[in-house]
Amino acid sequence: MHGQQPTPSMRWHVNDIHFSAVDCARMRERDDLFLLVCSASFVESGSDTYTRNLVDYFAGDTEVASWLIEHWEPEELQHGRALKTYVQHVWPAFDWDTAYADFFAEYSRLCTTEELEPTRAQEMVARCIVEMGTTTYYQALATACDEPVLRDLAWRIRTDEVQHYKHFYQFFLRYQGLENTQRRQVIAALWRRVNELRQSDATIALRHAAAWRFRGRQDAPTAAVINKRVYALMGAEYPVGLAVRMTLKPLRLGGRMQRWVERPLAAMVRQVLLY
Ligand SMILES: [Fe+2]
Ligand SMILES: [Fe+2]
């Protein structure tokens, strides 16, 4: 496994988070925040599985491979460790390791090279969309939660995700030139990845977090009720404008065209959030 130790280039360290300042008694009742933090900790902790596929796909490109191994992966794994520490601090009765093993058994089957895009430029577009998803997720979480330590953590992670987006975007520009990628190919990659966002790792992680959280509880809510609850919390704070701008960026539309496309797309994103 790569990058278990934080590299000096990291903008922050898990030890910078003041876990002891959390009002645990108050937070412990918040099933919605538990599910959001726990499911995110699962996805982030599984990041190294995906890195190997990406590094293989970009074989021969040492700039991409070394950035993925030396920066991207250690940062994603640190997100996982920090979120896991938060969960274990607030909900010590929750058996994170066993629940994670359950999640990983299902998640690891999704991480195959067949899931990658047909060209390198398109894969970079897909990676931009994933980082857009995480950026907006943590921004919504930071805004929605009323617990200062979690807000601080979510905002630090959000800042990292923006940097990841910028790197993948620069790599996309390089490959777009090398592969002479057409706009229709960019649209196809965007479309595939945006559609995948809802039926993806986050959904699996949420299902596993909920299954373990509510195991044996008389008042266990159904999956539909759980989804509705977390979407309601996040949907109200979701930065739709930012999501749309980050999604459209790889299309490299002109200013007028961009404005023309933004509105219907923002409406579509809001629609996705409602269902
Ligand atoms: Fe992350
Ligand atoms: Fe990221």
pLDDT in single tens digits along all 275 residues of the chain: 444 455 557 899 999 999 999 999 999 989 899 999 999 999 999 888 878 889 999 999 999 999 999 999 999 999 999 999 999 999 999 999 999 999 999 888 876 666 789 999 999 999 999 999 999 999 999 999 999 999 999 999 999 999 999 999 999 999 999 999 999 999 999 988 887 776 677 888 888 898 888 887 777 788 778 878 888 888 889 999 999 999 999 999 988 888 888 888 888 777 766 65
Distance from the alpha carbon of residue 109 to the mean position of ligand 2, in angstroms: 21
Beta carbons of 223 and 210 less than 8 angstroms apart: yes
CA distances from 162 to 30, 55, 118, 121 (A): 28, 21, 25, 19
Distance from the alpha carbon of residue 226 to the mean position of ligand 2, in angstroms: 25
Domain count, the chain: 1
Distance from the alpha carbon of residue 37 to the mean position of ligand 1, in angstroms: 12
Q: What is the pLDDT of residue 111?
A: 64
103-115: burial string, b at 16+ Cβ within 10 Å, e else: bbeebeeebeeee
Distance from the alpha carbon of residue 46 to the mean position of ligand 1, in angstroms: 10
Distance from the alpha carbon of residue 155 to the mean position of ligand 2, in angstroms: 13
Q: What is the pLDDT of residue 275?
A: 56
Rounded distance between C-alpha atoms, residue 207 and residue 42, angstroms: 11
162 alpha carbon, closest ligand: 2
132 alpha carbon, closest ligand: 2
Per the listing, tokens 């899931």 go with 115
Which letter does DSSP use for residue 222 in this model?
A: P
Q: What is the pLDDT of residue 1?
A: 41
For residue 92, is it within any domain? yes
The CATH code of the domain that includes 224 is 1.10.620.20
For residue 41, is it within any domain? yes
| pTM across the whole model | 0.91
Contacts of residue 43, Cβ cutoff 8 Å, sequence gap at least 6: 80, 107, 201, 202, 205
Q: What is the pLDDT of residue 218?
A: 78
Q: What is the pLDDT of residue 222?
A: 81
Beta carbons of 64 and 175 less than 8 angstroms apart: no
Q: What is the pLDDT of residue 273?
A: 67
138 alpha carbon, closest ligand: 1
Rounded distance between C-alpha atoms, residue 232 and residue 23, angstroms: 23
Rounded distance between C-alpha atoms, residue 156 and residue 173, angstroms: 26
Distance from the alpha carbon of residue 235 to the mean position of ligand 2, in angstroms: 21
Beta carbons of 193 and 129 less than 8 angstroms apart: yes
For residue 108, is it within any domain? yes
156 alpha carbon, closest ligand: 1
Q: What is the pLDDT of residue 267?
A: 87
Distance from the alpha carbon of residue 30 to the mean position of ligand 2, in angstroms: 26
For residue 12, is it within any domain? no
Distance from the alpha carbon of residue 49 to the mean position of ligand 1, in angstroms: 14
51 alpha carbon, closest ligand: 2
Distance from the alpha carbon of residue 215 to the mean position of ligand 2, in angstroms: 31
Rounded distance between C-alpha atoms, residue 246 and residue 269, angstroms: 13
Domain that includes residue 258, residue range:
24-274
Q: What is the pLDDT of residue 8?
A: 57
Q: What is the pLDDT of residue 3?
A: 43
Rounded distance between C-alpha atoms, residue 191 and residue 91, angstroms: 38
**To 10 degrees, what angle do helices 31-45 and 47-57 make?**
40
Rounded distance between C-alpha atoms, residue 34 and residue 116, angstroms: 31
Distance from the alpha carbon of residue 44 to the mean position of ligand 1, in angstroms: 5
For residue 42, is it within any domain? yes
Distance from the alpha carbon of residue 161 to the mean position of ligand 1, in angstroms: 6
For residue 40, is it within any domain? yes
Surrounding residues of ion ligand 2, Cβ less than 5 A: 131, 161, 164
For residue 114, is it within any domain? yes
For residue 13, is it within any domain? no
128 alpha carbon, closest ligand: 2
